[in-house]
Amino acid sequence: MTTQQLGLRRLDLAATDAATTEAVTQLMRRGAVPDVRVRDDARVIVEEVRVGGATALRRANEAHGGGRANRDGNAGGDRDLIIDGPALKLATDALPRDVRKALDQSIANVSRFAETQRPATTRTTIIPGVEIERRWTPLRRVGCYVPGGSAPYPSSLVMTVVPARVAGVREVVVASPADAQGNIDPVLLGAAGILEVDALLVAGGAQAIGALAFGLPDIGFAPVDRIVGPGNAWVTAAKLEVSGLVGIDLPAGPSEGMVLADETADPVLVAADLVTQAEHGPDSPAILVTTDRALADAVDSEIERLLPTLERRAILERALREHGRIVIAPDLGAAIDFVNAYAPEHLSVDVGDVESAVARLDSAGSIFVGPWAPESAGDYATGANHVLPTGGLARSSGPLSVEAYGRYSQVQRIDRDGLAALADTVRTLATAEGLTAHRNAVEARFRATAGDR
């Protein structure tokens, strides 16, 4: 494993030294769960909000940031914490025409794809007299966390709220922090108004998750049934803390970008795709996996040319310096094996036989195929959801979808003939487990009816 003075760190998969093996292992087992110190501190904040309600939430906002500027002296009310539907509608009316048009298209495309995910209720006859219904029901109240503070993310509001609306969730609330000046992004507010969000809670971090999970009884803000949406380590830690009380989607780590490319790829496009997700934060990995050293060198040079033109250059430079990699694979098969083992959140694929390569890729949150598919198109406009598994969870989990906004229950219908056909099985297995009350629940029915039913 070598380090270039100005370029991204290199990792050669053909190497067999201990340092390379360890580096590969660390990449594969990086995880999305924050360290124990963050989890311990988040647990304290969540508990303070559970006990102290809105007062504790305000205190946490002041200590950790994310609270709204209180310019009307309404310290005893709730307007500093809650923005209601009518206020969100006013923000929608104030949106610039081009922004409203872009939001409308994004919402329409996300809705169209979400509609294809709507779960169905099914009924299955197991044997005559035994029928099982698998019933899908939307949740009553969902909380969508939308990151903010250093940068607003109205796109994440669209990605979390639209599937809830498609699912038929009765109440949808959003939590999002204000910026350092205590302001909420007007585009975020306007998007919430378009989607008829019931309320927007002005809070961020662990305190926002605590408020969603436990509610704020002192100001009439009810708890939610499930919390969805991306966030920083504090948000993730808090979601894990409350997951025994409410549902959560996934623990989310830093945003990840990976590009799989060969000698046919354009280094200008590869560099542009490689830095896209690193723009989110200094802890975001950006990894090029390639079979071609000449492409790797060209991408390094292009990144150096590109960075000075980008607004978040400082964040990008730190992310690339600390978490950027170029992985050199001996062949495309080895490159694909590495990608599948890493399981990236975002994966751009730009190789000669692209569809053949994509068919072999089985562990990625969202895959972008070919030179005309930038990851940013999926972040904003294609209709695919951009709330995705990170930290290797793409090996076992998928993107946020309509299914996350409801749950299945089993409805079992059994008549006398059906139970009679099952009785010997129940008796035998209940007896084998020593659970005679289970056996009796069957036998009592036949004793009580004495053949009358």
Asked whether the beta carbons of 250 and 283 are under 8 A apart, the reply is no
Active site residue 355: no
Q: Taking the CA of residue 336 as centre, how many other CA atoms within 13 Å lie in the half-sphere pointing to its CB?
A: 17
Label residue 334 left, alpha or beta by phi (over 0 means left) and psi (-120 to 50 means alpha): alpha
Catalytic residue, chosen from 280, 323, 346, 386, is 346
DSSP-derived secondary structure for 156-200: HHHHHHHHHHHHT-SEEEEEE---TTS---HHHHHHHHHTT-SEE
- The yes-or-no answer on residue 345 being catalytic is yes
Widest pairwise Cα distance in the chain:
88
Select from 395, 285, 400 the least CA-distant residue to 342: 395
**Catalytic residue (choose from 256, 345, 375, 386):** 345
CB under 8 Å to 138, separation ≥6 — which residues? 167, 168, 169, 170, 405, 406
Residues 6+ apart with CB under 8 A from 337: none
Query: DSSP class of residue 116?
Result: T
Q: Count Cβ atoms within 10 A of the Cβ of residue 312 and give its class: 0-12 exposed, 13-18 middle, 19 or more buried.
A: middle
Task: Measure the CA–CA gap between 443 and 254, rounded to whole angstroms.
Answer: 57
| Phi and psi, residue 229, nearest 5° | 120, 155
Catalytic residues: 345-346
